[in-house]
Structures are given as C-alpha cells and as structure tokens.
Structure 1
Amino acid sequence: MFILLCIVIVIAVMRDYTSGKIWPPFVPTPTPTRTVNSFLVEGDTHFQAGNLDAAIDSYNKAILLEPENVDVRVNLARIQVYSSASLTTDQERRDRLADALAVVDEARELAPQNADALAVRSFVLNWSANPALAGDRTKELRNAAEADALAAIQLDSSNALAKAYYAEVLIDQFKWGQAQDYIAQARENGEHLMDVRRVQAFVYEVLQEYNLAIEWYQKAIDVTPNLTFLYIRVGTLYRHNGGDVNFEIALEYFAKAANLNSQLGIEDPIPYMAIANTYIRMGEAMIASRNAYRALSINPYNPSTYGQVGVIYYKARNYEGAEMVLKCAVTGCNAEESCLAREEDPCQSDITTEKLPLSDSTVVYYYIYGSVLAGLHRSGQDDRCALASEVFKEIRERYYDTSNEFTRTVLGIVSASENICGITPGQVFSTPVPTRDYISTPTPQPTETPLVIPTFTPTP
C-alpha cells in the first residue's frame, strides 16, 4: 500500500513538473519582463509629476527595448529640452540640449518624413540658439529651427506642435505678426496642449501683454501642474508688474515651485534665487540674503550659484559678503575660500569651485565683482584694485565691439569702476600690497554707502 501511494505521488509530481506548475529546485523564479509601454507610462507619469530627470531615465530604458521607435525618441527629446530650463549653468544646458538633438536626429534618420520629429527638432534647435549658449552660431541654429518647423508644417498642415514651435522661432526672430498668426493656428486644434499654451504665453510676454501672458502660463499649468519652470515664469511676471500685492503673489508661485521640488526630492536652487530677488525688490535685504544662502547650501559645487548669490548680496548692500561669493564664480575658490563664502565655520567640507567662463550670461558676475573690489579698495591697505584690473582687462578683451549696445553698457560700467582705481583701460594695475589672506577676513557686514552698479541681466 505504501509503495502504491509513493508511485501515485511521483506520477503527480512529474505531471505538475511537466506542466510547469512546479519549478525546478535551485533555479531562480522568473520575473516578468518590462514592456516598452510600461516604461512609457512610467515616464509620462514622472513628467506629469514634474520629475523630468526620472522621466528621461524611463524613456531611455524604453529606447533600449525598441531602438527604432521614432515616437519614443521624439517624446524623449521634448522632455530633455524642458528639463534644461531647470539647469543652472550654460554648460549644463548646452549638454542637455546636445543630448536632445542627438536623440531627435536619430528619430529623423529613422523617419525622415515624420512631422513630429521635425517639429521637435525645431524646438531643440531654437532653444539651443539662445545667444548665451550658442554665441556666433545663434543665427545658424535659428534658421535651421525655422526650416525644420516649416518642413513639419508642409508634411502635416494640422500639426499644432509644429505651428507652436514655429511661432516661438518667429518671436525669437522678432517677427511678431507672423508669430501671432501661427500660434493662433496652433490653438485651433491644439489649445489643449501644454506646449501650445506655453508658447501663447511666451508670445504675450514678449509683446509686453503681461496679464495675458500670466493667464496663458496658468492655462499651461492647468495641463501640467507640476512643472516648476512654469511657476517661475508666472512669479517673475507678477514681480515685474510690481506693487506689494503682486510681490506677494509672486512669492506664492516661487514657493509652489520650491515645494514641488521638495516633494520630489529635487535639489534646485532656482526657486530660492527667485524668492531672494523678490524680497530685494520689497526692500527686505535680510530675508533675501537668507534665501540666497539657502540656494547656495543646495548647490555649493556650482560656481553659477555663487555668482547669483553674489548679485543678491550686492543688491542687499552686503558688499563684503558679495566680494567673496563672487570671487568663487569669477576666479574660482579653494576649499577654505568656499567655506568662507558659505559661512561654514569651522570649515569641514572640501568643496572647491572652478572659474566660470566669461560669456554674455556671466559677465554680470564679472563686472559686479570688479566694481565691488574697486568700491571697497583702501589705498595702501589692500590689493583690491589690482584684482579688479585683472577682471576688467579680461572683460575688455572679450567685449570690444562698441557698435554693440550690450558691449557699450558693459564697458560703461567697467570704465566707471576703473576710474575709481585710476586704472588705465586694458592695463593691469600693480600694487606693492601683498595678496590678502581671505581666511582671516572678518564676518561680512553691509557697507553703508551703496555702490551704484547697474544690472541689466534678467534674473529669475
């Protein structure tokens, strides 16, 4: 009887093994393979949540599974462009936009007649054509963006994204009337799209219809309520309108951006910079400085953050504090100097910063740093004018075309500060005073006499 029972059990086990109900011992249990669609859903969810880096990661995983899927590449490139809005240095933005261009170029190679691929390529090229990023290639990239947008519209005359992106190109080419025509066409069948609403807001913003711009940025937020750069734009426009009520509303939008980042675990200094600049406009220098310091603590490795904080300290009339922070942006800082700039006492970190290359977007740090050095100089007591002359010489070597209004403004600021130090333009000032020991510098205190240094670079 026992033998018969054993035979029955063995037969049952063999049947279940053959049918797959019983898995062999010591063999790992199989796990379900992720599908392309699952990664796309995940990526879209991250995008809607405002976590663009996570969305990019999900889309890249989808491409690994289906490398010839054109739509995946097109959507990835679009997300990469929007993610560049939250990066703080020119080089980071260039790199992200270069990644987007590489992705959309692959999509175009796979499907040369795909209207969406051409439309998004136009979007990538136009954002890459920002003069602060592209320099002499701005016109070339802008023309290429225009050509791709027109090609997309010719292939698909109902493509709302192509028309919206073309309107954005036209605005950047100062073709206001055509831009209004194309964004109106885009709205006919694409008003539900965030991109269309955002470009409509941008068109109104450039045309100085600020209340309408706010309305359309808010409509874009209604579609994608977790994209922080949209909140930053609305807040900036309210701040531009001025007045206590508008300042308070601006702060609410900037706070929403900061809170969204906090919920997602994203360390982004931009909302705190925007808050600090608003408090400066409100005359609240101490609160502004605290928010600037918060931004610096979030990203202490980024020299651009030091530069932005330095400008805020300058506006708050904390000139000694601005001097050290701007040094970390303009010339770079060793670990001890960066500790001093961040007021880390005792110094326990080994954070250094590299010099920011001089460009149209960083020159504001250079001329304010040089002007602060000149304003704080005490003859026979320090070497600030010698340091200032080196900064001004570098500026003059790059900005010499006085037919350009931007250059004339920069050189006007430089000349005024050179006069303070008695510096001959283009020459390095010499001094017998030894280099100062920054580490022994006393705690920065605001200077009573304001240094009047015009700032024309827009800030968040």
Structure 2
Amino acid sequence: MYIKERQNLFRNPKNQSNPYRIMLLLLLIVVLVSVLRSYAQGAIWPPFIPTPTPTRTVNSYMVEGSTHFLAGNLEKAIGSYNQAVLMDPTNTQLLIELAKIQVYSSNTLTTDADRRTRLAEALAVMDQAKALEPNNPDVLATRAFVLNWNANPTLAGANSQNLQNEAESEALMALQMDSRNTLAMAYYAEILTDQYKWVQAREYMAQAMENGDQYMDVHRIQAYLYEVLGEYNLAIEEYKKAIEINPNLTFLYNSVGRLYRHLEQYDVALEYFDQAASLNEQLGIKDPIPYMLIANTYVRMGEAMVASRNAYKALPLSPYNADTYGQVGVIYYRARNYEGSIPLLQCAVRGCDAATSCEGRECEDPEAEQIVIEGLPLSDTTVTYYYIYGSVLAGLHRPGDDKCEKALEVLAEVRAMYANNPTIMGIVEASEAICSGE
C-alpha cells in the first residue's frame, strides 16, 4: 500500500486548527465585550429606542423669558415665563415677573376685549402668588399694581371702584410689611394718581425716587404723574430715563412721542414713533399702533396723503382686528378721504363681509385672503367710530341711496348711550339735521 507522505492516518485533517479563524474569533470577542461595556455605561442605546434629549430647566425658561423681555418681545417673554411657571408653579418670583410683563403687554393691544383679557390673566397669576405667600410684600405690591390697571373704568365699568379700593389696600399692606419697599411706594403712587390724590402721590414718588433710580417702573410712574399734572417736559425726561433702563419697550417710545405731539413738536414725535415701529419690525412683531400714531401726527400737520399712507400700513399688520379698521377709518376721515373711510368704519361698527374688508384694505390681488370682520360694541373706546361713521354717511348721502337710513340708525345708538355728553350730542344732532333736511 502506498501512503502519501505527511498524511496523518489517525486524525481528520478538516479539524486541524486554522490560525486565521482563531484571530477572527478573538476579534469578535473583543468587539462584543466593547459593545456590552458601552451599553452598560449608556454610551450606546438599543435600536428603535429614541435618543434622549436634554430636559429644559426652569432656569432656562426664565432666562429665555428675561431675554425676550429685554429685547422688547413681550409675547414671547410671556410664553417663556408661562413654561417656567408650569415647571415650578410655587415660585412666586416667576409669577411676579410674568404678571408684570402681562400688564405691560396690555399697552400693545388695541381692543378693550383683548386688554381686559390680558389684564385678567395677570390678576389670576397674582392671585396664585398671593395664595402661596400672602405676607410677601413684593407679591402684595405687584398685585396692587395689577389690580390698579384692571380698575381702568373703560375696561372694568361698574367694578372699577372696587378694584381700585382693593389695589390701595394691597399696596398699604405691602408697605406695612416693608416700609422701604421701593416698588410698593411707586405702585401706591400710581394708584393715588388715578384717585386724583396728587399731593400724596408726589410724597410717595419722592420716597421711591430716593432708592429706585434703577427701576424702569419708578421712572415710568414718575413720568405718568408729571403727565397727569401737565408737567410735560418733566414727564418726557422721566420716560427717557425709563427707556435708558429698558430700551426696547415700544410703549415707552409711544408715550414720549405722544407728549412731543401734544407740545406740537411733531418732527421729534415722529422720530419716537418711528423708533417704536422699527423695533417692532426688527423683532417681527405685527403691531399697528406706531403707524396709527404716525398717521395721526401727519393729520395734525395737515399732510393728509402721508397720513393715509401710514394708516394704510397698519391694516396688513392686523387685518382681523376690527379696531384697526376703525382707527384707520378715523384717520382717513380726518385726512378728508371720506369715501375711503366708509368701508373701514363699517367694518369697525357693523362688521363686514370679505368683499367689504377687502375694499377697506384696498386689495389688489383678486386671490387676497377672505377676511370677515365682526363689529365692535359701542363703548367709550369705540364711540368715536360710531359717530364719525354716522357723520360721514349723512354727509355723503344722495337722493335714492340708503346712507341716511344707516346713519340715523347708528346715531340713535349713540344718542341712547351718550345723551348726557354735550360734545358727542352736538356731533350727533348736526348729522341728524343733515338727514332731516334742516
């Protein structure tokens, strides 16, 4: 028998060790151990399980809210602080900051309903804070501030006095607990100003100014007191100091602009209104108020066309807001664009269909958004829209149309509510006389 050389007769050669296979197995073992270790340490997650993301903290929302406030974006600031409060509902300092911003933001809203709602939200926040810390002077002082703004007679109606009395009580309680609380003094001075107690208001503001130069609210309230007392130049200086502390709050620029306009320094007034409009544009805030103020200033300057152009800029910023239509309609009327004012005032007073609102907005695109407007109820804020609408309808009446019929209907509503107001009734009676042919 022939046997091949080197062949092993007693062992199957297929079972002979392969060094490459051993190296591969060792490598796989090393990789497996590494994976298991990483998994145990949390560096690797199993497939199909979402990768965890960092959970935001209360502080991050608070910082974000403060940043938005300093930038002048009050709506975003409110959103951030609301998120912080959701995470830490017992933090009274968060509640205080949120309520203050809600109050300030009411200055940027154009309708009574919106302002009333926002101020009610601020009061609910401070009610929550007081329930948590009923003896905290900062809580009581801020609640007094919020109550006083809610007490605006235009917004609160018959409940105004009750709210103001409660505001005064809260402010006094805050001062009893901390007689040196600067903001409590300032907020109490604001309440006293609204109560026409100007001597006491001056006394408390003098105390607040001693240690409160760093607070925007102290300068804002001092400016307000000066404004009520007719000391307009001093008021302007205090508003400017408030702006130095918070340079991105548009309502402060609007306040300065209004005072310069009252002093007939129109160019300076326009500069401040324009700064407010520019701030809003930079932040992407759709606020029609600065354009309304600019337009009204040009009306006073006798520049009707420029006034109309600036008023028109307000409509695209707030196309669903009946108050915007009313304000623009009044500006058109004062700029003697009587025909153009009618659809706008109709939208504000009676409401209007999409075609009429489009006419008021001077839609050029036939595919423009179809917007239906609901009219505003008659109130101290909207009465101007009502009697001007009635007046322009009466003035443009021609035989065969229904303008006088519409005018008399609107004027009758004004008469029913404002029969004891001689100024308004003078306008109503003159318009009624036109329609009666007298």
TM-score past 0.5 threshold: yes
User: How much has 1:423 moved relative to structure 2?
Assistant: 8.3
Per the TM alignment, residue 59 of structure 1 is displaced from its structure 2 partner at its CA by: 0.6
Cα distance per residue 1:26-83 (max 9 Å; x no partner)? 3322211111111100000000000001001101111111111111111111110001
Amino acid at match of 1:262: E
Question: Aligned residue for 2:276?
Answer: 257
Q: Cα distance 1:323–1:16, how it changes in 2: closer, same or farther (>3 A)?
A: closer
Give 5+ residue unaligned stretches, structure 2: 1-21
1:329 aligned partner, one-letter code: A
2:258 aligned with 1:236, yes or no? Answer: yes
Mapping for residues 277-292 of structure 1, pairs under 5 Å: 277-292=296-311
Partner of 1:360: 380
What does 1:437-448 correspond to in 2, within 5 Å? none
Could you say which residue in structure 2 is the equivalent of 1:411? 425
**CA deviation after TM superposition for structure 1 residue 231, in Å:** 0.5
User: Rg bigger for which structure?
Assistant: 2
Residue 137 of structure 1 aligns with an amino acid whose one-letter code is N
Q: Hey, what does 2:370 align to over in structure 1? A: 350
Question: 1:12-411 counterparts in 2 under 5 A?
Answer: 12-242=34-264, 246-345=265-364, 347-348=366-367, 349-378=369-398, 380-400=399-419, 402=420, 407-411=421-425
Deviation for aligned residue 1:115: 1.3
- Tell me how far apart the structure 1 counterparts of residues 326 and 39 of structure 2 sit (CA, whole Å): 68
RMSD over equivalenced CA pairs, Å: 1.6
1:270-318 CA-to-partner distances (Å, cap 9, x unmatched) read: 0000110111111110000001111112212111111111111111111
Matched positions, count: 415
What are the Cα deviations for residues 303-351 of structure 1, in whole angstroms up to 9, with x where unaligned?
1111111111111111111222111111111111111122224543311
1:141/1:347 CA distance change after superposition, 3 Å: farther
Cα deviation for residue 121 of structure 1 reads 1.2
Q: CA shift at 1:17, angstroms? A: 2.7
Instruction: Quote the sequence identity (%).
Output: 62
Q: For CA contacts below 8 A with separation 6 or more, give which structure has more relative contact order.
A: 1
C-alpha separation between the residues in 1 aligned to 2:437 and 2:124?
47
Contact 1:389 1:423 (C-alpha < 8 Å) held by counterparts:
no
2:136 partner amino acid: N
Q: Tell me which moved more, 283-292 or 319-328.
A: 319-328
Residue number in structure 2 paired with 1:451: none
Secondary structure in 1 matching 2:45: coil
Structure 1: distance between partners of 2:437 and 2:117:
39
Cα deviation 1:361-418 (Å, max 9, x = unaligned) = 110111111111122222x232222111101111122223x2xxxx222122211221
Q: Is the 8 A contact 1:303 1:329 kept in 2?
A: yes
The code of the aligned residue for 1:139 comes to Q
